Amino acid sequence: MCYDAPCTHACPTHIDIPKFIKKIATSNLRGSARTILDSNLLGATCARVCPVQELCEGACVLGAEHKPISIGRLQRYAMDFAFEKGTDLFQPAMATGKKVAVIGAGPAGLSCAGELARRGHGVTLFEKRDLAGGLSTYGIIGLREPMEIALAEVNLLKKLGIKVETGKELGTNVTLPELQADFAAVFLSVGLGSTTTLGIPGEEYILDGLEYIEQSKLDASKLVVGRNVVVIGAGNTAIDCATIARRLGANLVTMVYRRSEKEMTAYAHEYDFIKREGVRFSFLTQPVRVEAENGSVKALECRRVSLGSRDASGRPSPQPVPASAFVLPADQIVKAIGQEKPSLASRLKLKTERGFIEVSREFETSLPGVYAGGDCIRARGAASTVMAVQDGKLAARSIHERLVAHG
């Protein structure tokens, strides 16, 4: 009943939140789910993974004096109903005869593919991994997004007639000129690359944070967790790694970060959460070398740093403090220090901005007819699932307009 619903403005996909909540109140759960999906085809995932404190719930007018309305949980309730009942939420559209290729089946690709299929276009999604869903399937900690939810969402979208070809990588199994010859438009939603390297001696003993999370989702019983774990990094992924280590049996988990608490990129609520899990922090600490013996990690050698002038990222740069070396004993070290920029951009000779694919307001890259969205274009600001979904939706609109204009 709020005037101008600030929550709807704060949601990057602009879901009509008052409308879907009203439908729940009148027991019209199917209608509620439809309202959500009208703006956001990945409503089930977003209900679980959105940083709601920063988005819809953060804007709730009740938040100033009381608790905000639990928008994320209500959204989840409506979407769970739709999934459990398996109700048909989409009407098949009249086929236009136009074909679009989408590369990468993460949130951006799925959203774009779904929106195009809803408009009657024939969509083929090429995904290099065995399973679709991108980071929702493999990367977001199971506590927040179980794999089954991400895969159920893919199945829901498949009902729109999208052809999903897994195990097909652009650049290996199919080339861009081949796609351009077969499809009227191409949408690139390839996300980012693997975890960046630290460049320190003994790095080969350090586990990759994304693989650590992935293994915990695929089969947690096969994930070997140390007793004394050091996690390098202080973003949301690092917090997820620390959570997994703690929940799966580590006695001591220490997060090592080369800047201070103030520069941490993790959300404030995530930081509060991990402190309550009993995880320790070593700020202003730079890893220097891994100490290993007979193939087993023994410790992480570090040094203290102080913060100097701002670097290219706009944050104060860590400067080594002389004679400050110290050793953090550890039997497992995990790094979660961000992902590489999308390598495909240079391989396809696309224009880039700070290493990310550059796009126009219409989400078109420097190659006409080739569009992009999601993490691979996010040159500024924090990347999130809901923003990738919105990119996919807006790009689909641009592609649709182009296809309609070209008859």
Residue with Cβ nearer ligand FAD (88 or 148): 148
- 131 vs 214: CA distance, rounded Å: 12
Instruction: Tell me how far, at minimum, the Cβ of 165 lies from ligand SF4, in Å.
Output: 28
Q: Which residue in 39, 254, 332, 384 binds ligand FAD (CB under 6 A)?
A: 384
Of ligand FAD, ligand SF4, none, which one sits near residue 328, judging by CB under 5 to 8 A according to partner kind?
none
* 328 C-beta neighbours (distance < 10 Å), count: 18
Specify the stretch interacting with ligand FAD by CB under 6 A; choose among 183-191, 197-205, 320-328, 394-402: 183-191
Considering only CA atoms, give the Rg of the chain: 22
Among 122, 191, 202, 233, binds ligand FAD (CB under 6 A): 191
Contact between 210 and 233 under an 8 Å Cβ cutoff? The reply is no
**Sign of the CA dihedral running 195, 365, 384, 170:** negative
Distance, first Cα to last Cα, the chain? 43
For residue 365, state whether it binds ligand FAD (rule: CB under 6 A): no
Query: Is residue 89 involved in binding ligand FAD (CB under 6 A)?
Result: no
Instruction: Name the amino acid, one letter, at 234.
Output: A
Among positions 139, 202, 226, 233, the unique one binding ligand FAD when judged by CB under 6 A: 139
For ligand FAD, which residue of 129, 158, 159, 280 counts as binding (CB under 6 A)?
Answer: 129
Tell me how far, at minimum, the Cβ of 6 lies from ligand SF4, in Å: 12
- Residues 224-253: x where in contact with ligand FAD by CB under 6 A, - otherwise, as a string: ------------xx--x-------------
Contacts with ligand SF4, residue ranges (CB under 6 A): 11, 13, 15, 17, 40, 46-47, 50, 52, 55-56, 71-72, 75, 386
Query: With contact defined as beta carbons under 8 Å apart, do 37 and 9 qualify?
Result: no
- Judged by CB under 6 A, does residue 344 bind ligand FAD? yes
Residues in CB range of 83: below 8 A, 6 or more apart: 44, 149, 152, 156
Asked if residue 216 binds ligand FAD (CB under 6 A), the reply is no
Q: Of residues 163-182, which lie at the interface with ligand FAD (CB under 6 A)?
A: 169-171
Residue 190 main-chain phi, psi, to 5 deg:
-95, 0
122 touches ligand FAD by CB under 6 A: no
By CB under 6 A, name the binding residues for ligand FAD.
49-50, 103-109, 126-129, 134-135, 139-140, 144, 169-171, 189-191, 213, 236-237, 240, 344, 374-375, 383-386, 388
